[in-house]
Structure 1
Amino acid sequence: MPEQINPLVERIGLSMWRVQKRIASGIALNVELGLTFPQFSLLNMIAREGRARVVTLAERMEVKSSAVTVMLDRMEAVGLVRREQDENDRRAVVVSLTEKGENVRSEGHRRSLVLLEEHLSILTPEELAQFADCYDLLDRQKR
């Protein structure tokens, strides 16, 4: 017998998916910044690492290294990232952001926060605090 799903859980899941989709499409990274959403995510990962190995990025994105390589080829062609041989392992490649890459990442981040703020503006300050507390709780949950 299949396990019953709480209707509230289903409702929350569907609402989260719809809102996330609306926000992600509203960022308009592709048109205005020349990036796809996965490329923007990759820029953020590289920024967090400082210098990131391609295999590490692929693991985090849960894709093959070849998929990351294709994205990096495009991003390198427009001057967002640079690739270098790893000093410790000549077979490995490390990636870092260029100044242009950091500027594009920073602008994309700013735009996404502005859009998120617009979507959340329907909440009162108290509701916004409760919402943030709930997400913090979910974020701290063991995976």
Structure 2
Amino acid sequence: MYTNDFARLWFKLSKDLKNHMETGLAPTLTEGQLNVLELLEAHERMKPSDFIAYLETTPAAITTLLDRMEKGGLIVRERDDHDRRIVWVKTTDRGREECARGVQIREQFLQSHLDRISAHNQQLLVYLLGKVANAS
């Protein structure tokens, strides 16, 4: 009954957010790179293979993404002290700064949209989206 309306609104909001993020993050960061930086902020360090479960992409694509990020000074790769076969990915100071900037850009966009409704309705919207997404 409401699926067409939901799909139309979801697509519009998603498209607007994507365009806003691309414009706001450029030229030093992409949305994919921001995702990696946020994961590293949450986990401190990760192996390249760890990103596969979160980013839903191929190992080759992750390697290319990490290569670009390393060239841009956002991350470093370090060999494990005990097992030289293991490579750890860690955020640099510049990466942490860019991550904070990216999160702020996203939060400002989302807050400007959420400010159009009351705090109660914001809470209700998050609750209902959690139900739709089947999140706990």
TM-score normalized by the length of structure 1 = 0.82
> Which of 66, 70, 77 in structure 2 is aligned with 1:76?
70
Aligned counterpart, 2:38 = 44
**Comparing 58-67 and 7-16, the one that deviates more:** 7-16
Kindly indicate whether the alpha-carbon contact (under 8 Å) linking 1:29 and 1:36 is maintained by their aligned counterparts in 2. Answer: no
The Cα shift of 1:94 comes to 1.2
Aligned to 2:26: 31
1:132 aligns with 2:126: yes
Unaligned runs of 5+ in 2: none
- Residue 10 (structure 2) pairs with residue 16 (structure 1): yes
Deviations 1:27-50 (A, max 9, x none): 224425x11111111111122111
Q: CA deviation at 1:12?
A: 1.4
**Larger Rg, first or second structure (1 or 2):** 1
- With normalisation by structure 2, the TM-score equals 0.86
User: Aligned with 2:88: secondary structure?
Assistant: strand
Distance 1:29 1:45, change over 3 A: farther
Structure 1 residue 91 corresponds to structure 2 residue 85: yes
Q: Over aligned residue pairs, what C-alpha RMSD do you find?
A: 2.0
Contact 2:29 2:98 in 1 (8 A): no
Q: Any stretches of 5+ residues in structure 1 without a counterpart?
A: 1-6
For the 8 Å contact 1:54–1:95, the answer to whether it is kept is yes
